[in-house]
Amino acid sequence: MNVFNLLGLAWKALTRNKMRSALTMLGIIIGVGAVITMVSIGEGSKQSIRSQLSSMGSNMITIRPFSNSTAGGGARVGAGGLQTLKVKDASSILNEVSFVTDVSPAVSTNGQAINASLNWPTSLQGVSPDYLTIRDWKLVSGTAFTDDDVATAGKVCLLGQTVVDNIFNGVESPVGKVIRFNKIPLKVMGVLEKKGENTFGQDQDDIILAPYTTVQKRIMAITHIQTIYAAAVDEKSSDTATKEIGVVLRANHKLHFGEEDDFRVRTQAELISTMSSTSQLLTVLLTAIAAISLLVGGIGIMNIMYVSVTERTKEIGLRMAIGARGIDILLQFLTEAILISITGGIIGVILGISSAKLVTVFLAWPTLISQSSVVLSFVVCAVTGVFFGYYPALKASRLDPIEALRYE
């Protein structure tokens, strides 16, 4: 008996009882289909969270002041009130930390943006030109301000799309116009590309960017900075960069050994892994449920194979009488079980992929069909066929031909 003979025999046996074979297969089809659909939904949501976070700049490192010590009266001071970060820190990071390509100091304040008769409450973010690189933010029109503007505290700005929508009537181009922010006139140099809402539902386009010196001196009248944004070379090096930033800042701030950091460094990668772990859990749960249905499908195969062996006892007896060895019978029934599970698996893969596509089309959920889930579920279902087909096949192969022949 070679493989083709076995497959031919098994195929004939299965087509002899089409309805039953189809129903048995259905268990596997649903199981495999469910696994693939569920994993692709889980992977899809993971991917979408990841890409949303990356839209903020996936290599971005954020440094904010932090203090656990109490200043004077015992009341803790919030990060916003701390004045420990200086512009010098930003330049030290850029110069001394390897793997960091861009650094931007940042200060931010809220106020009213005014253009002619229109006004809009928004926030003004003071940054350096590098900020656009760090956030991977492009302009739709105009040009960015330069380091010269930073040096001279130039009265220039870039507008977010939401601000443009609210203080310009839509006809005239904002570029070149002068708007006012809390009475300070700012010349619009460019309009920022639309970024949409971030993962937390904040409108990222409701913003005005200006040189940080302008915001520090002309609007907020402060000398410290609130935040330092930096970009690591890539996601992997952000851990190393984080450590080095810590060392540089501790030196700058003259912190002694044992003293707590007066700043906190966060990377986007951390956030991504936190968010991903949530959807990872979701994937695991969905997959577990789907795997159970695959198991049930496997038990269905086992059940039907037992019925089939009992029903075909006489056939088994005959085959043995005319020269089939135990192993021949075992392989015959095993092949049938595997054929059911593999055929079911193939149909299940097709069903799983197409239902994942349907989910995307009709429910607008992101899905991502991962190759590994297709391969894995297919392998699992083939193994299911072998595992659940083995015992019925073994039972068949151990029948006594004399009794099997006489079985009615």
Residues making contact with other proteins (CB under 8 A): 1-2, 4-5, 9, 12, 16, 314-315, 317-328, 401-402, 405
Cα dihedral across residues 125, 127, 129, 133: positive or negative: negative
The distance of closest approach from Cβ of residue 401 to other proteins in the complex, given in angstroms and rounded to an integer, is 5
The distance of closest approach from Cβ of residue 11 to other proteins in the complex, given in angstroms and rounded to an integer, is 13
The distance of closest approach from Cβ of residue 395 to other proteins in the complex, given in angstroms and rounded to an integer, is 16
Query: Judged by CB, which is closer to other proteins: 147, or 400?
Result: 400
Output the six-digit token pair for 110: 């809220």
The distance of closest approach from Cβ of residue 322 to other proteins in the complex, given in angstroms and rounded to an integer, is 4
Q: Cβ neighbours of residue 342 under 8 Å, at least 6 residues apart?
A: 381, 382, 385
Query: Judged by CB, which is closer to other proteins: 116, or 321?
Result: 321
The distance of closest approach from Cβ of residue 3 to other proteins in the complex, given in angstroms and rounded to an integer, is 12
The distance of closest approach from Cβ of residue 323 to other proteins in the complex, given in angstroms and rounded to an integer, is 2
Query: Judged by CB, which is closer to other proteins: 82, or 318?
Result: 318
Cβ neighbourhood burial of 200 (10 Å; 0-12, 13-18, 19+)? exposed
Q: Quote the CA–CA distance of 174 and 159 in Å, as a whole number.
A: 8
Query: Judged by CB, which is closer to other proteins: 111, or 326?
Result: 326
The distance of closest approach from Cβ of residue 389 to other proteins in the complex, given in angstroms and rounded to an integer, is 20
- Amino acid found at 25: M
Query: Judged by CB, which is closer to other proteins: 38, or 320?
Result: 320
Query: Judged by CB, which is closer to other proteins: 142, or 401?
Result: 401
Query: Vertex 25, ends 16 and 384: CA angle to 5°?
Result: 115
What single string gives the DSSP state of each residue in 66-77? ---SB-SSS-B-
In 3D space, the residue among 345, 339, 351, 269 whose CA is nearest the CA of residue 56 turns out to be 269
Residues 202, 59, 148, 167: what is their CA dihedral angle, to the nearest 10 degrees? -20
Q: Quote the CA–CA distance of 396 and 310 in Å, as a whole number.
A: 8
Query: Judged by CB, which is closer to other proteins: 149, or 336?
Result: 336
Query: Judged by CB, which is closer to other proteins: 313, or 360?
Result: 313
Distant-in-sequence contacts of 5-12, Cβ < 8 A, 24+ apart: 6/331, 6/332, 6/335, 7/335, 7/339, 9/332, 9/335, 10/332, 10/335, 10/336, 10/338, 10/339, 11/339
The distance of closest approach from Cβ of residue 16 to other proteins in the complex, given in angstroms and rounded to an integer, is 5
The distance of closest approach from Cβ of residue 339 to other proteins in the complex, given in angstroms and rounded to an integer, is 17
Query: Judged by CB, which is closer to other proteins: 111, or 401?
Result: 401
Taking a C-beta distance cutoff of 8 angstroms, is the pair 359, 272 a contact?
no
Output the six-digit token pair for 245: 């930033």
Neighbours of 284 (CB within 10 A): 12
The distance of closest approach from Cβ of residue 19 to other proteins in the complex, given in angstroms and rounded to an integer, is 14
Query: Judged by CB, which is closer to other proteins: 263, or 333?
Result: 333
CA distances from 239 to 9, 91, 100, 265, 270 (A): 60, 20, 11, 10, 9
- Amino acid found at 404: A
